């Protein structure tokens, strides 16, 4: 099954009720399959008039009590930014699949790049938090789509599937478990009477307020305004500070519960190749080859990109001399790795600006060069 | 003292108590027309969602003391369509200013009208962007003085009702704040109609547009609306030159074409039955 198709099956397994998306290469296959499959399970497919319309419909449907997602690529994310900020501010759980393509600008629509790492995290105005997961296979397109829905429902944040053209169009065997074997999380709803309901009063343990749907009788005030816990607009500093801090912390403070990484041979290695998404497939081959040639190389793959695994990277840095970061851009996640490593290890960027993926031999040669 | 009949629907904890609109502004009147229509139709207010964008008109929903969704400038119709898909049993009412309806939200208006989504959209047309100090909008009359057209507006103004009618909406009407009963009736008929209803209400902004064009206070501006309104029927016998300075009021269309949400839900219903 193709990666884009596996994403659709993951969404259906996670009980997605609505998909709205605008055609864009290389994410169109998600729309195409959704337009068939979603209706079969009683859901609704909408072809948005553009990316703004698509994400607005998704956010509206979520406040109607549904689970919903959209899919797009780099340029589409650019257009969605205002809605992404609105979703973050209104704490609307929604899933956005970003099948990255080469840019900037229109770039090379049919070719891959990992160029959206920062625009999905910091693209909308001011401070908020999101979650992003980077699959490296069609199977993970399924698994991480389910996970993206669950995390988004748990933390009430926009959650991204940060994939790319290579994974989106890759065909591999995908195992779809029986419905009862799939863990599905649904947002926490308020369980108090209307008189005692505070629309944006957070739960102490998670910083996430319970969320009613429109029509449930909770007289829900949803707005992109800075607001008090009652939902009243406010320009008061203390109110704003409390709100923005909570929007930031609800993901950052729960990072340990969210973060997932994969690693091999890190215990005895001098150099670790740290990567994510499609690049990680080449990196794995490269590390395997290097080890056969007697080089003490290790492999690390970030499955969770945001929140960034600061603690994990620091632990890696404490135990190796060099961390090398191959990625299909001019060096983005490498900046985060440098920051998290706190100078404990040398961090080396190995960039490639999209269209072509690194080959295992290229990465292996770079490992050899670094280790001398 | 007798309480105003709209107060039972009004959120009293919002900034600028009782509200932030300027003295003489028409938005308060249109707020009342909306609740009056809801009241007269005996709707359960907990099943009525108000949606708004940003600007003076966008703030209308934030005073509705039931469910509301205060969204992005120009884009409330997209959000409203999403809610309607998930909860078709809700009555969804959307208030939008002229700037967001006709400029930044133009495509959302066109597409929502074309889809014929069961939303009642009320466009408060006061000829300018009031919240930001009174800049010209796509509905500012030719030669109209605004903050950003100090020598007079040179852009043709938009006939939104004709646009929305052509796009395929089920119900389209235009009134002014000098036509309260007609406006309330149109809002009621728009809510009843199973399809996209677009009601443009021409409204006074004495603080910005009225002041710059020497149109007087709110009452004077309403008199101006009253004296220069012609019905749709009458306008048919007038030439383009005569019509230019008039406000054409009336119901432009009232039809029953298929509606988007019910069509999509019907497909989902039929296909999921066959699948099982």
Tell me if A296 sits within 8 A of A267, measured CB to CB.
no
pLDDT range class, residue B166, cuts 50, 70, 90: very high
| pLDDT value, residue B118 | 98
- DSSP code at position A190: P
Please determine, for residue A234, whether its predicted confidence score (pLDDT) is greater than 80: yes
Residue A372 pLDDT grade (very low, low, confident, very high; cuts 50, 70, 90): confident
pLDDT of amino acid A204: 64
Q: Decide: helix, strand or coil at residue A97.
A: strand
Percentage of chain A exceeding pLDDT 90: 98
State the Cα–Cα distance between residues A101 and A107, nearest whole angstrom: 8
The whole-number pLDDT of residue B4 equals 87
Q: What is the pLDDT of residue B276?
A: 64
Chain A nearest C-alpha distance from B70 (Å): 5
Count of domains in chain B?
A: 1
Q: Chain-wide mean pLDDT for chain A? A: 96
CATH number of A1-258: 3.40.50.970
The answer as to whether B160 is a domain residue is yes
What is the chain A residue with the closest CA to B263?
Answer: A44
- In sequence order, the 6+-apart residues with CB closer than 8 A to the CB of A264 are A284, A287, A298, A299
Predicted TM-score (pTM) of the model is 0.98
Provide the pLDDT for residue A198: 92
CATH number at residue B21: 3.40.50.970
pLDDT of residue A71 exceeding 90, the answer is yes
Among chain B residues, the shortest Cα distance to A236 is held by B15
Quick check: is B183 in a domain?
yes
> Do residues A10 and A144 lie in contact, with contact meaning Cβ atoms separated by under 8 Å?
yes
A64, B86: Cβ pair inside 8 Å?
yes
Domain limits at B164?
A: 7-275
Test A61 with B69 for CB contact under 8 angstroms. Answer: no
CB pair distance less than 8 Å for B107 and A53 = yes
* Euclidean distance between CA atoms B96 and B30, whole angstroms: 11
Position of tokens 């040639």? A293
Q: Is there a contact between A210 and A190 (Cβ–Cβ < 8 Å)?
A: yes
Q: Is the dihedral of CA A39, A42, A43, A48 positive or negative?
A: positive
pLDDT-based confidence at A18, cuts 50/70/90? very high
B242 in a structural domain: yes
| pLDDT, tens digit (0-9, with 9 covering 90-100), for A281-296 | 999 999 999 999 999 9
Does the pLDDT at position A205 exceed 70? no
Each residue's pLDDT tens digit, B84-134: 999 999 999 999 999 999 999 999 999 999 999 999 999 999 999 999 999
In this predicted structure, the answer to whether residue B5 has a pLDDT above a threshold of 90 is no
In chain A, CATH 3.40.50.920 sits at: 261-371
Given this model, what pLDDT does residue B274 score?
84
Q: Which CATH architecture has domain A261-371?
A: 3-Layer(aba) Sandwich (3.40)
d(CA A209, CA B257): 41
Taking the C-alpha atoms of residue B82 and residue A35, their distance in angstroms, rounded to an integer, is 16
Residue B2: inside a domain: no
* Residue B215 binned pLDDT confidence (cut-offs 50, 70, 90): very high
pLDDT at residue A249 greater than cutoff 70: yes
In chain A, CATH 3.40.50.970 sits at 1-258
Contact between A106 and A77 under an 8 Å Cβ cutoff? The reply is no
The answer for residues whose C-beta is within 8 angstroms of residue A259's C-beta and 6 or more apart is A304, A307, A309, A312
A22 phi/psi in degrees, rounded to 5:
-110, 135
Measured between CA atoms, how close is B148 to chain A, in angstroms? Answer: 26
Q: Is residue B1 part of a domain?
A: no
Rg (CA), chain B: 19
Q: Do B86 and A213 touch (CB under 8 A)?
A: yes
Specify the pLDDT at position B275.
Answer: 75
Q: How far is CA B133 from CA B54, B55, B56, B208, in A?
A: 14, 11, 11, 7
Q: How confident is the model at residue A206 (pLDDT cuts 50, 70, 90)?
A: confident
Inform me whether the C-beta atom of residue B43 falls under 8 Å from chain A C-beta atoms.
no
With beta carbons less than 8 A apart as the criterion, state whether B37 and B182 touch.
no
Q: Is the pLDDT of residue A275 over 90?
A: yes
Say yes or no to pLDDT of B263 above 80. yes
Q: Can you tell me the mean pLDDT for A55-77?
A: 98
Region for residue A228 given its phi and psi (left: phi exceeds 0; alpha: psi -120 to 50; beta: otherwise): beta
């Amino acid at each position: 099954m193709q990666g884009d198709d596996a994403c659709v099956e993951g969404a259906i397994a996670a009980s997605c009720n609505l998909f709205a998306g605008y055609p864009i290469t290389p994410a169109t296959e998600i729309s195409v399959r959704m337009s068939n499959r979603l209706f079969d399970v009683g859901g609704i497919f909408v072809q948005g008039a553009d990316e703004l319309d698509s994400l607005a419909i998704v956010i509206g449907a979520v406040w109607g009590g549904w689970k919903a997602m959209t899919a797009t690529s780099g340029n589409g994310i650019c257009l969605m930014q205002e809605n992404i900020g609105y979703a973050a501010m209104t704490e609307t759980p929604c899933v956005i699949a970003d099948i990255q393509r080469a840019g900037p600008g229109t770039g090379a629509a049919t070719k891959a790049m990992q160029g959206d790492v920062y625009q999905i995290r910091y693209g909308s105005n001011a401070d908020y938090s999101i979650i992003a997961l980077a699959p490296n296979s069609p199977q993970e397109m399924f698994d991480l789509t389910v996970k993206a829905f669950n995390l988004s429902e748990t933390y009430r944040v926009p959650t991204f599937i940060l994939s790319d053209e290579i994974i989106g169009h890759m065909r591999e065997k995908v195992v779809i478990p029986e419905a009862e074997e799939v863990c599905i999380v649904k947002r926490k709803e308020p369980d108090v009477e209307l008189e005692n309901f505070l629309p944006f009063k957070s739960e102490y343990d998670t910083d996430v307020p319970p969320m009613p749907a429109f029509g449930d009788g909770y007289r829900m005030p949803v707005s992109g305004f800075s607001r008090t816990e009652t939902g009243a607009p406010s320009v008061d500093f203390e109110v704003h500070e409390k709100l923005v801090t909570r929007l930031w912390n609800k993901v950052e403070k729960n990072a340990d519960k969210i973060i997932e990484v994969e690693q091999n041979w890190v215990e005895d290695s001098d150099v670790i190749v740290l990567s994510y998404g499609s690049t990680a497939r080449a990196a794995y081959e490269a590390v395997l080859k290097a080890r056969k040639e007697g080089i003490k190389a290790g492999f690390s793959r970030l499955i969770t990109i945001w929140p960034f695994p600061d603690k994990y990277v620091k632990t890696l840095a404490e135990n190796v001399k060099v961390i090398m970061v191959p990625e299909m851009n001019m060096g983005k996640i490498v900046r985060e790795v440098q920051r998290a490593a706190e100078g404990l290890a040398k961090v080396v960027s190995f960039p490639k600006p999209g269209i072509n993926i690194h080959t295992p031999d290229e990465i292996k040669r770079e490992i050899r060069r670094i280790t001398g | 003292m007798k309480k105003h009949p709209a107060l039972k629907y009004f959120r009293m904890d919002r900034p600028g108590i009782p509200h932030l609109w300027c003295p003489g502004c028409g938005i308060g009147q249109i707020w009342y027309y909306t609740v009056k229509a809801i009241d007269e139709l005996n709707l359960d207010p907990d099943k009525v969602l108000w949606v708004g964008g940003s600007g003076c008109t966008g703030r209308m929903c934030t005073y509705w003391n039931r469910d509301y969704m205060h969204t992005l400038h120009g884009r409330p119709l997209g959000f409203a369509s999403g809610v309607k898909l998930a909860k078709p049993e809700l009555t969804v009412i959307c208030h939008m200013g002229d700037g967001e309806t006709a400029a930044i939200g133009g495509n959302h208006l066109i597409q929502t009208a074309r889809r014929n989504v069961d939303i009642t959209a009320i466009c408060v047309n006061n000829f300018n962007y009031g919240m930001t100090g009174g800049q010209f909008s796509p509905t500012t009359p030719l030669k109209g003085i605004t903050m950003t057209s100090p020598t007079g507006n040179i852009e043709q103004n938009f006939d939104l009702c004709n646009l929305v009618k052509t796009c395929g909406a089920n119900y389209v009407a235009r009134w002014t704040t000098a036509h309260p009963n007609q406006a309330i009736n149109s809002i009621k008929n728009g809510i009843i109609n199973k399809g996209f209803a677009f009601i443009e209400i021409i409204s006074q902004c004495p603080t910005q547009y009225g002041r710059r064009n020497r149109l007087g206070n709110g009452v004077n501006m309403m008199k101006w609306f009253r004296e220069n309104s012609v019905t749709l029927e009458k306008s048919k016998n007038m030439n383009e030159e005569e019509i230019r300075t008039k406000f054409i009021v009336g119901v432009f269309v009232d039809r029953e074409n298929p509606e988007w949400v019910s069509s999509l839900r019907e497909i989902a219903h039929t296909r999921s039955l066959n699948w099982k």
